[in-house]
């Protein structure tokens, strides 16, 4: 079976020209999308890939209607090849069922690999230059969970731990599995002496959110 695929980026654009070209190419069924090509999760494309079987041929009018990049194109073609499905492009004269079409794809593949190599080389050169200038520090390290717990066990507050580790106080609270104190109210913190049945309550004065008093209260049975 010859299966066609047509796509336009927005609903304002018309599929008519592509539909006519695919119909003239003898397509028995045509799948279509009115969506951006930046996503592979296009309803028509997904349905078509599930529909085609061994021996079928997919036809598109132009490559950019089918894939957003050469890398994306070769991933799709590899998937079709594993299913035994051929691929044809009307305007770029590509036909994976012919030796000439396979040669064209091989050339495109070499170009894609060359572009990727150039991109990686530029990236490495940029990183090397940034390191030489002392402005590249790599990916920011994550928070050391064990260190947070150690400092908390020593009695340090979340703010002090955040200052010590150079991170946001909210991140410390998240790792300590407690909520940030509410300004102008009472916020419960984990028990300091659970064996004694005592809980800490931090009372924050509304007029001075930075000042706090800790009141020890016996837990109610």
pLDDT, one tens digit per residue, over 1-29 is 999 999 998 878 889 999 999 999 999 99
Distance CA 2, CA 23 (A): 10
- Please check whether residue 97 lies inside any domain of the structure: yes
Q: Where does the pLDDT of residue 98 fall: very low under 50, low under 70, confident under 90, or very high at 90 and above?
A: confident
Q: Given this model, what pLDDT does residue 137 score? A: 62
16-23, Cβ contacts within 8 angstroms, sequence gap of 24 or more:
17/61, 18/61, 18/65, 21/61, 21/90, 22/59, 22/60, 22/61, 22/90
> 66 is in which domain, residue-wise?
2-112
Please indicate, yes or no, if residue 133 is contained in any of the structural domains: no
The answer to whether residues 7 and 35 belong to one domain is yes
36 and 78 assigned to the same domain: yes
Domain identity same for 82 and 63: yes
Of 71, 69, 63, 67, the residue nearest 90 (C-alpha): 63
The reply to whether 127 falls in a domain is no
Q: Same domain, yes or no, for 90 and 54? A: yes
pLDDT at residue number 50: 93
106 lies in the same domain as 207: no
Give a yes or no: residue 130 inside a domain: no
Same domain, 7 and 72: yes
30 in the same domain as 55: yes
User: Has residue 122 been placed in a domain?
Assistant: no
Residue 69 resides in a domain: yes
Residue at a domain's end among 112, 129, 155: 112
Same-domain pairing of 148 and 187: no
Quickly list DSSP for the chain: -EEEEEEESSTTS--HHHHHHHHHTT-SEEEEEES-TT-S--HHHHHHHHH--TT-EEEES-HHHH-SSHHHHHHHHHHHHHTT-EEEETTTTEETTSHHHHHHHHHHHHHHHHHHHHHHHHHHHHHHHHHHTT----SPPPP-HHHHHHHHHTT--HHHHHHHHTS-HHHHHHHTT-PPPPTTSEEE---SBGGGTEEEEEEE-TT-TT-EEEEEEEPP-
Residues 38 and 108 reside in one and the same domain = yes
Residues 6+ positions from 168 with CB-CB distance below 8 Å = 162
CATH number, residue 169: 1.10.10
What is the number of structural domains in the chain? 3
Is residue 15, in this structure, part of any structural domain at all? Answer: yes
> What average pLDDT is seen over the chain?
76
Lowest mean pLDDT among 10-19, 31-40, 131-140, 184-193: 184-193
Active site residues: 9
Tell me, what's the pLDDT at 203?
Answer: 38
User: Is 70 found in the same domain as 11?
Assistant: yes
Is 121 inside a domain boundary? no
CATH number at residue 69: 3.40.50.1390
Higher pLDDT, 43 or 141: 43
Do 80 and 63 fall within a single domain? yes
- Cβ–Cβ under 8 Å, residues 32 and 39: no
């Amino acid at each position: 079976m010859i299966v066609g695929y047509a796509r336009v980026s927005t609903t304002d654009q018309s599929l008519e020209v592509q539909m006519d070209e695919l119909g003239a190419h003898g397509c028995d069924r045509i799948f279509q999308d009115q969506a951006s090509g930046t996503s592979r999760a296009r309803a028509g494309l997904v349905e078509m890939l599930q529909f085609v079987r061994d021996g079928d041929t997919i036809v598109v009018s132009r490559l950019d209607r089918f894939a957003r990049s050469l890398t994306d194109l070769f991933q799709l073609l590899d998937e079709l090849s594993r299913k035994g499905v051929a691929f044809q492009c009307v305007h770029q004269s590509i036909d994976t069922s012919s030796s000439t079409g396979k040669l064209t794809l091989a050339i495109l593949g070499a170009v894609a690999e060359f572009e990727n190599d150039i991109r990686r080389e530029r990236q490495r050169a940029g990183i090397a230059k940034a390191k030489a200038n002392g402005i590249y520090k790599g990916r920011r390290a994550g928070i050391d969970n064990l260190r947070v717990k150690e400092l908390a066990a020593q009695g340090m507050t979340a703010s002090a731990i955040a200052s010590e580790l150079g991170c946001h106080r909210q991140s410390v609270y998240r790792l300590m599995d407690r909520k940030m104190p509410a300004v102008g109210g009472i916020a419960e913190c984990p028990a300091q002496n659970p064996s004694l049945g005592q809980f800490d309550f931090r009372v924050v004065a509304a007029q001075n959110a930075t000042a706090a008093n800790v009141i020890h209260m016996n837990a109610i049975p």
